Chains A and B, each alone.
Chain A
Amino acid sequence: MLHDMKPEDVKGEYQEVTLDLYGGVSRKILYTDIETAYPDGKLIVSTTDKEGVITHVNQSFIEMSGFVEDELIGAPHSILRHPDMPPAAFQDLWDTVNKGVKWQGFVKNLRKDGGYYWVKATVIPNVRNGGVAGYTSVRRKPSRTKVEECIKLYPTLF
């Protein structure tokens, strides 16, 4: 279940937009210009089921997203979807992993407090007993050069 963002959770001046997400769900997003730097040496790890519902997160995921674990488990992964991310990027992600192939890209993720953080993300299908059981997503610290390229490129992809 994905709820609209609440002003009391947001820190700083925010903008408001309603995003159409996977599965025909709409969500009111409140987002700020406040970036949280990716911590050195850490990996953010999560797994989802085949429908993109979160089944596992590690401590770094919790810390960077700003949610508590109970709010994340059972939520769709699009809880992190930032309005600056072009839908084409996620279409490419799903098209790629549905072919059983790894996907990699640079992603601007939304935090619970309306802020954001950039990651280099890799998503891999979890093949169990010959079939896809879900997906594992691992994020690592991106290079600033690549992030700057994405900041220029992504607005042109809407």
Chain B
Amino acid sequence: MSFQFTVSPDFTPDHISGWYIFNTWLQQQANLAIHLEMYNDFHDQREAIKVDNVDLIYANPFDAAMLVREKGFKPLVKPVGESDEAIVAVHVDNHVEDVAHLQAGVRVAVTEDPDVHMMGMIMLEPGDLDASNVEIIDSDTYVLVAKHLLKNEADVGIFLAEAYDDLSNMIKKQLRILVRSQISVIHHSLMIGPRLLEQHKNISNILVNMHNDTKGKGVLESLNFQQWEVVDDEEMEFMIDLMDTLTM
């Protein structure tokens, strides 16, 4: 029997090959047949989850709640020292210095990334802005969010901080950060589904020791991670509760 692994579509494109290498390494270590399926967008991935096609997932915090509460997934590990943060940026020529000075009707460029969208909208609240009084401009990638700002097709862009930092210097020179979140407690997690649950302890042990293995260390580096650490059920429940407070 082959199991299916997938990665939240909000990963940095630079790391696509890293995830394929990771999957190959994990199959070998766990002696399991695992197929990595990369979905182009959140819609396709959620459809696969809905029909129980997914057994292992590097999930964003927004989807983690659904995976635990509705699909019986359990957390395994998270990358040490990594957290999801968002940035609200404007064109460098924009005279607005503070979110509080933005006006209703601003055009906000976002991606489909649900937790980054949420964190960005929270950072716009001090300006009395919410979904009812901004114009949302959907973009497929963070590079396109930046382009909307550069072409004056959007006034404000919401970025995953890591994706913003990875933009070329030429693009970043033309943008200005209004707010960078410092939330620290929201993070992606590797999660395991019901069909693979009997492998929970085994896979968890393999992953937390991954950085001690020469090949494993190289694989982690290809993902830009240092090492994995365990996420226990209570930590995941805490993050789900926290996400719940933020969706209000």
Contacts and interface: CB of A to CB of B under 8 A. Distances in A.
Contacts of B246: 43, 122, 138, 140
B126 A142 contact: yes
B245 A41 contact: no
A40 B180 CA distance: 8
Contact of B126 (A58, A124, A144): A144
Contacts of A120: 125
Contacts of B244: 102, 124
A144 B248 contact: no
Contacts of B184: 58-59
A78 interface: no
B29 to A, nearest CB: 33
Nearest to B183: A43
B126 A104 contact: no
A42 interface: yes
**B contacts with A: majority SS:** helix
A41 B125 contact: no
Contacts of B126: 40, 141-144
B171 interface: no
Contacts of B122: 140
A146 to B, nearest CB: 8
Contacts of B183: 41-43
Given A58-B184, A122-B245, A136-B245, A41 B123 contact: yes
Interface of A: 39-43, 45, 47, 58-60, 102, 104, 120, 122-124, 126, 128, 136-138, 140-146
14 contacts: A42-B181, A43-B185, A45-B185, A47-B238, A60-B182, A126-B237, A126-B238, A128-B237, A137-B245, A138-B246, A141-B125, A142-B125, A143-B100, A143-B127
Given A41-B123, A45-B242, 15 more contacts: A40-B123, A40-B179, A41-B181, A43-B183, A102-B245, A102-B248, A124-B241, A124-B244, A126-B238, A138-B242, A141-B123, A141-B125, A142-B126, A144-B100, A146-B128
